[in-house]
Amino acid sequence: MSNITVVADQPVTPEQAKQLEAVLKPQGGRFVNGLKDLDEQEKKKALAEADVIYIRHVTPDIIKAAPNLKWFHQPWVGVNILLADPEVVNSPAIFTNGAGIIAAPVADLVFAFILGFARQMPYQWEAQKRREWDRKGLEETSDELNGKVCGVIGYGKIGTEVGKRAQAFGMRVIATRSHPERPAEYLDQAFSNEQLPELLAQSDFVVITAPSTPATRGLVGKTEFGQMKRSAILINIARGNLIKEQELIEALKNGTIAGAGLDVFEKEPLPPSSPLWDLPNVILTPHSGGIFQKLQTNSFNFFLEQLARFMKGEKLQNIVDKKAGY
């Protein structure tokens, strides 16, 4: 494929720009680095000529302003913002995302939550702050992970990394999947999405890794909390709107479930007035699961590999089904 124009919405580094140009120039292609730094006329011209857009600041307006667009790549995993716009959904352009880039670090955060609750780390951190040698109750509340059940809602790339870690700790891994009949690594038992109550009833830790789609929004609420063990921990590293947050708060307050590890919320940043900040059985992080030192580098390198495939006419990886929402 020749004479391709690639546009980045946000500037990439000079070295990255050179790498893109090295792929494009032999076939007459060109690279426009950073729409945000162009004036309106230059921006309009660049988008009119764009065949490919590397979009890091996710906004549907950029996609809609590129009439000749053939492919757009978002380096992040969640695609719900772009796919909220019907024009983007109906665009003939291929849409890919960075699924898998952050899978391992996010799974690490899941296990930080799991280990934190299993070993009662919040209680011990508070004792450390008070300079108190406090082991009261730990025999009753701390536990080992070996033999516990890790239930994963949505077993994609992040879910698979969670399963890998869970099995290494001797846990049994079960998951709901859109296609439970398909083989999957590190998975002891697969359920259909309709069998969610069975997964909830068996799990000691319930980990939500499903995408945000019309079918999953509000997926877990009062009914589902009632189906979980009272000793169970809920962990959400997917999207805040998959959980009915007020119903979660009530479940945590009244002991319907034992605790929650939350990286995502219905409203972000989480308002200072939210009761979640003060609940003793909650560990929360500021949507930081996908943040790690090599994030930008790894994300760009994946796009560069994809661009080389695109130039050769090869099938791209991580193609998003725009109508399904993931």
The CA distance from 60 to 84, in Å, is 8
Active site residue 126: no
Smallest CA-to-CA distance from 323 within 92, 50, 55 is with: 92
Q: How far, in Å, are 130, 138, 168, 172, 248 from residue 147 at the CA level?
A: 34, 19, 11, 6, 26
165, 172, 177, 239: the active-site residue: 239
- Spatial CB neighbours of 117, under 8 Å, sequence gap ≥ 6: 205, 233, 258, 259, 261, 283
Q: Is 239 one of the catalytic residues?
A: yes
Q: Tokens for 143, please give them.
A: 């536990």
Q: State the catalytic residue, choosing from 185, 268, 305, 314.
A: 268
- Decide if 287 is catalytic: yes
Is residue 121 a contact partner of residue 115, using CB atoms and an 8 Å limit? yes
Which residue in the block uniquely carries the two structure tokens 């919040």?
A: 122
Phi-psi region of 313 (alpha: psi -120 to 50; beta: other; left: phi over 0): left
Which entry of 30, 119, 217, 287 is annotated as an active-site residue? 287
Name the packing angle between helices 121-129 and 103-118 (round to 10°): 70
The catalytic residues are: 239, 268, 287
